[in-house]
């Protein structure tokens, strides 16, 4: 069995907050943020636009795009660090909102690498014959966990959701997920973390980051993950049509593009408009390039991400 990427969808909150708007209430500027990260604006969720709400909207779009319906969904795997509630899993709120009446679902916590982890699990379950169709979602509201007094972190993040629908295809099918590669190093847990949780009575938690350390690890780990994905499939850098990276920082993204020898127009960038939407960033970027017709059937797409944990991973997908 192969997992075919049958449809993609996304959702962004209505409210857009520009760097200039942030500069009115924080000691920062559009040029500081844009020069270091490429970010110019981010979407910020309203009270109505929760993790499950945005995930359900993105999933509806992905199912529509795939020509599929609720009865085709055997599993809902939702990557998030900002669920609506400790439980039920937001994946199951999505199940209810979509009218999916069978199968199962769960939330997955791997910070910004969550979507790659979720894709890997869905792909394994499809390959083993356990399921035939899965919604793989990233939905995040970092606006709820950033410290809005900390200009070093709050300017970097945004809210949103992206989803794909993957279904079982034929083993002889050339399309589909070729491989996924997951990594983690728990000893680096303190360079990017949230200092609390739903279970903590004192505080729900704020994001804390050592930006320089994260930057340093991102460049080396992601380069390794990209090489690993190519080697596992006996492919060369020149075989890759598109790089769809996690959208944290334009400088990291461009460094990865150069490593692959890809021209800038073959690297999908949304960080300027979305900022870092954590687990939602890869499917949001994929949807961006899919909807406007850049990514086409037959293209070889390399996905990669790195985030708190430290977690990182990659996946090669033939569309
Ligand atoms: N506006 C203006 N000044 C700011 C600022 C802001 N929003 N945030 C920080 N500064 C100031 C700092 O206070 C510091 O001032 P000082 O020199 O007077 O102490 C100065 O800018 C430099 O701060 P520093 O944190 O060293 O900047 P940097 O060049 O390392 O850039 C990041 C910071 C976050 C942009 C960069 O480290 C980065 O992109 N890291 C990777 C982060 C990432 O990808 N995280 C997500 C992974 S999933």
Domain enclosing residue 90, as ranges: 2-169
* Judgement on whether residues 143 and 193 belong to the same structural domain of the protein: no
In this prediction, residue 201 carries a pLDDT of 66
In this prediction, residue 137 carries a pLDDT of 98
Model pTM score: 0.96
Structurally, the chain folds into a number of domains equal to 2
| Nearby residues of 296 by Cβ (< 8 Å), 6 or more positions away | 319
Active site residue 51: no
Q: Is the pLDDT of residue 202 over 70?
A: no
* Judgement on whether residues 65 and 207 belong to the same structural domain of the protein: no
* Judgement on whether residues 224 and 310 belong to the same structural domain of the protein: yes
Per the listing, tokens 């200039």 go with 20
* Judgement on whether residues 226 and 99 belong to the same structural domain of the protein: no
DSSP class of residue 146? Answer: S
Nearest CA to ligand 1 atom 36: 211
Query: Where is the domain boundary, 140, 169, 198?
Result: 169
In this prediction, residue 251 carries a pLDDT of 93
Q: Please list the alpha-helical segments (H only) found in 139-280.
A: 151-154, 211-232, 250-260, 271-274
Mean pLDDT confidence for 226-236? 95
* Judgement on whether residues 140 and 11 belong to the same structural domain of the protein: yes
pLDDT (tens digit, 9 = 90+) per residue, 11-37? 999 999 999 999 999 999 999 999 999
> Strand order in 104-108's β-sheet?
2-11, 159-169, 133-141, 75-79, 104-108
The CATH number covering residue 282 comes to 3.40.47.10
Q: Is 215 in the pocket of ligand 1 (CB under 6 A)?
A: yes
* Judgement on whether residues 138 and 269 belong to the same structural domain of the protein: no
In this prediction, residue 81 carries a pLDDT of 96
Per the listing, tokens 């992601």 go with 222
Q: Is 66 in the pocket of ligand 1 (CB under 6 A)?
A: no
* Judgement on whether residues 152 and 132 belong to the same structural domain of the protein: yes
* Judgement on whether residues 127 and 150 belong to the same structural domain of the protein: yes
* Judgement on whether residues 11 and 157 belong to the same structural domain of the protein: yes
DSSP 98-144: HT--SSEEEEE--GGGHHHHHHHHHHHHHHTTS-SEEEEEEEEEGGG
Q: Is 251 in the pocket of ligand 1 (CB under 6 A)?
A: no
In this prediction, residue 196 carries a pLDDT of 87
| Nearby residues of 112 by Cβ (< 8 Å), 6 or more positions away | 246, 248, 276, 278, 279, 281, 305, 306, 307, 308, 311
| Nearby residues of 117 by Cβ (< 8 Å), 6 or more positions away | 79, 108, 110, 182, 311, 313
When pLDDT is cut at 50, 70 and 90, the band that residue 252 belongs to is: very high
123: Cα separation from own chain's centroid: 16
* Judgement on whether residues 27 and 117 belong to the same structural domain of the protein: yes
When pLDDT is cut at 50, 70 and 90, the band that residue 174 belongs to is: confident
CA atoms within 13 Å, Cβ hemisphere of 280: 35
* Judgement on whether residues 139 and 22 belong to the same structural domain of the protein: yes
pLDDT (tens digit, 9 = 90+) per residue, 41-68? 999 999 999 999 999 999 999 999 999 9
Q: Is 36 in the pocket of ligand 1 (CB under 6 A)?
A: yes
Query: Where is the domain boundary, 120, 147, 169?
Result: 169
Q: Is the pLDDT of residue 147 over 80?
A: yes
**Mean of the per-residue pLDDT values for the chain?**
95
- Identified catalytic residue from 19, 65, 249, 276: 276
Query: Where is the domain boundary, 144, 169, 194?
Result: 169
Active site residue 65: no
């Amino acid at each position: 069995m192969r997992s075919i990427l049958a449809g993609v969808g996304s959702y962004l909150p209505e409210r857009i907050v520009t760097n200039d708007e942030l500069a009115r209430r924080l000691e920062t500027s559009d040029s500081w943020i844009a020069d270091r990260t490429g970010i110019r604006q981010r979407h910020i969720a309203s009270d109505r636009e929760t993790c499950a709400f945005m995930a359900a909207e993105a999933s509806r779009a992905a199912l529509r795009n795939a020509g599929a319906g609720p009865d085709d969904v055997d599993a809902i795997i939702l990557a998030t660090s900002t669920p609506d509630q400790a439980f039920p899993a937001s994946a199951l709120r999505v199940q209810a909102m979509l009218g999916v009446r069978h199968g199962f679902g769960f939330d997955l916590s791997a910070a910004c690498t969550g979507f790659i982890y979720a894709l890997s699990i869905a792909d394994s379950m499809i390959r083993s014959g356990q399921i035939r169709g899965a919604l793989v979602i990233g939905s995040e509201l970092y606006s709820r966990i950033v410290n809005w007094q900390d200009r070093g972190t709050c300017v970097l993040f945004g809210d949103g959701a992206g989803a794909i629908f993957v279904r079982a295809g034929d083993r002889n099918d050339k399309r589909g997920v070729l491989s996924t590669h997951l990594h983690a190093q728990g000893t680096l847990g303190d360079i990017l973390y949230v200092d609390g949780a739903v279970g903590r009575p004192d505080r729900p938690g704020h994001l804390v980051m050592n930006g320089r350390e994260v930057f340093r690890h991102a460049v080396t780990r992601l380069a390794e993950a990209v090489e690993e994905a190519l080697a596992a499939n006996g492919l060369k850098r020149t075989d890759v049509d598109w790089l769809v990276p996690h959208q944290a920082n334009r400088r990291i993204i461009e460094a990865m593009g150069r490593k692959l020898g890809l021209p800038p127009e073959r690297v999908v960038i949304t960080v300027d408009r979305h900022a870092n939407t954590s687990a939602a960033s890869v499917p949001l970027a994929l949807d961006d390039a899919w909807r406007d017709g850049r990514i086409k059937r037959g293209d070889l797409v390399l996905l990669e991400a790195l985030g708190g944990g430290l977690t990182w991973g990659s996946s090669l997908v033939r569309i």
